[in-house]
């Protein structure tokens, strides 16, 4: 854009000088804000005006965009929050162990699965050492359990057995057959679990007997015991119990 030279005899202030003064003067000599009028190389220009306005508009646009993006994210962030129902499904399941007499089994639900909790008698625990040769995975090397349950009793405490009550063959619910020599299982039956769907048999630690269609032992879930309280879904290792 063409800019007319300043009128003769009229001295323009240098920009540095004007910056120090905090103001510039227009042709009329009246004070005006720097954002409205600027002198460059002795020529009046409105470039600074555009630049300042551009900066302002850019900043305003970015700020507005950021606020808009933040509001737009709210519904998505909300949708990422687990619902109360989902939280409840993943919540630990507790059981007062004093309510389970020796020789009895309680069933609780954790993550929509039945959890078998057996209070084993000393006799039940003793039988566990007597039939390793008849088991598919006596040391539980190919089965699923927490490290603290990778032992003969497959448990944190020998008297309490905690299992996911789902057959490792095709997912039926194994039945308790704790009585040794139960009629349908023969006189040598030491006591344990029997799955009626296809005949898998498990001992009092959930270890599968040879000849069963199931290939691995029943699953032991993560759990811990605090006093007389069993908590399924909280790992004993994390609690420093194991």
Interaction site with ligand FES (CB under 6 A): 167, 169-172, 195, 197-200, 213-214
CB of 210 to ligand FES, least distance (A): 14
Minimum distance from residue 200 beta carbon to ligand FES (Å): 4
CB closer to ligand FES, 136 vs 157: 136
Query: Among residues 169 and 207, whose Cβ is nearest to ligand FES?
Result: 169
For ligand FES, the closer CB: 12 or 173:
173
SS (H, E, C) the chain: CCCCCCCCCCCCCCHHHHHHHCCEECCCCCEECCCCCEEECCEEECHHHHHHHHHHHHHHHHHHHHHHHHHHHHHHHHHHCCCHHHHHHHCCEEEEHHHCCCCCEEEEEECCEEEEEEECCHHHHHHCCCCHHHECCCCCCCCCCCHHHCCCCCCCCCCEEEEECCCCCCCCCCEEECCCCCHHHCCCCCCEEEECCCCEEEECCCCEECCCCCCCCCCCCCEEEECCEEEECCCCCCCCCC
The CB-of-222 to ligand FES minimum distance in angstroms stands at 23
Please identify, using beta-carbon distances, which residue of 3 and 215 lies nearer to ligand FES. 215
Least Å distance, CB 171 to ligand FES, is 6
């Amino acid at each position: 854009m063409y800019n007319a030279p300043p009128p003769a005899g009229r001295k323009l202030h240098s920009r540095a000088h004007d910056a120090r003064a905090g103001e510039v003067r227009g042709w009329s000599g009246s004070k005006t804000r720097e954002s409205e009028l600027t002198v460059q190389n002795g020529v009046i220009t409105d470039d600074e005006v555009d630049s300042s306005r551009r900066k302002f508009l850019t900043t305003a646009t970015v700020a507005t965009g950021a606020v808009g993006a933040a509001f737009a994210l709210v519904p998505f962030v909300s949708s990422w929050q687990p619902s109360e129902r989902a939280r409840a499904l993943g919540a630990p399941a507790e059981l007062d162990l004093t309510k389970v007499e020796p020789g009895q089994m309680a069933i609780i639900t954790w993550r929509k699965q039945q959890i078998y909790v057996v209070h084993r008698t000393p006799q039940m625990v003793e039988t566990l050492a007597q039939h390793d040769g008849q088991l598919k995975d006596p040391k539980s090397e190919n089965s699923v359990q927490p490290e603290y349950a990778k032992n003969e009793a497959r448990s944190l405490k020998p008297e309490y057995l905690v299992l996911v009550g789902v057959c490792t063959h095709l997912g039926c619910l194994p039945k308790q057959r704790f009585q040794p020599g139960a009629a349908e299982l023969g006189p040598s039956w030491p006591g344990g679990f029997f799955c009626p769907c296809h005949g898998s048999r498990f001992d009092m630690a959930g270890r599968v007997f040879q000849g069963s269609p199931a290939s691995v032992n029943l699953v032991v879930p993560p759990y811990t015991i605090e006093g007389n309280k069993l908590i399924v879904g909280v790992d004993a290792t994390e609690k420093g119990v194991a």
